[in-house]
Amino acid sequence: MYKYQSIAHQILHLIEEGEYEEQIPPVRKLMEVFGASQSTVTHALQHLVTMNQVYAKANVGYFVLSNNHKEATVENSYDFSTASTSWTDFPWENYSQCLEIAIQNKKTELFTYGAITGNEELKDLFRKLLEEDQIYTKNERIIITSGSQQALHILSLIIMTRKKSILIEQPTYS
């Protein structure tokens, strides 16, 4: 086991014991506690970030991700289809952290559609799922869109350029 892994394991143990409830001590303090270099402690903290145990706030420090969220059931799920959702127990910290990570890691592609026909890995997984139901096709024949607007745009282009009919089974928005 590498030293950063050992430190990460010890920090995780301290979190579980309630020693670190909200914020992890500063890197300099952890360097003293574990007798390690700054890069080793930072590597350990990044390892915990990767494990979704802590999250980092730039120029502030590392914070414990709360594990007090409940498993999603019908009673405590969040309905995003309307604006009338009760937001009182919504896990804002976790949601905010996910957004921060997405913005940091995917800046250039966050607000784009991506590949016109969809993500190739997702298409491959979907093709395999169809095969389980004895429906066989090729990835080139599967189109995954980012929403109904993109789907309607692609369909209208096909109709206008190829003058062909399209069969859609049970179209709906609900």
Q: Please give the structure tokens belonging to residue 56.
A: 């980092």
Average pLDDT of span 144-160: 80
Q: Which residue is it, tokens 């607000």?
A: 111
Token pair of 101, please?
A: 């990570």
pLDDT for res 70: 43
Structure tokens at 115: 């590949």
User: How does pLDDT run across 57-85, given as a tens digit for each residue?
Assistant: 878 899 998 754 444 445 556 666 555 55
pLDDT at 105: 78
Contact present, 24 and 57 (Cβ < 8 Å)? no
Q: What is the pTM of this model?
A: 0.47
Q: Is 59 helix (H, G, I), strand (E, B) or coil?
A: coil
Residue 40 three-state SS: helix
Angle at CA of residue 153, ends 147 and 157, nearest 5°: 150
Q: Residues 105-146: pLDDT tens digits?
A: 777 777 776 677 778 888 999 999 999 989 899 988 888 887
Asked if 90 contacts 78 with a C-beta cutoff of 8 angstroms, the reply is yes
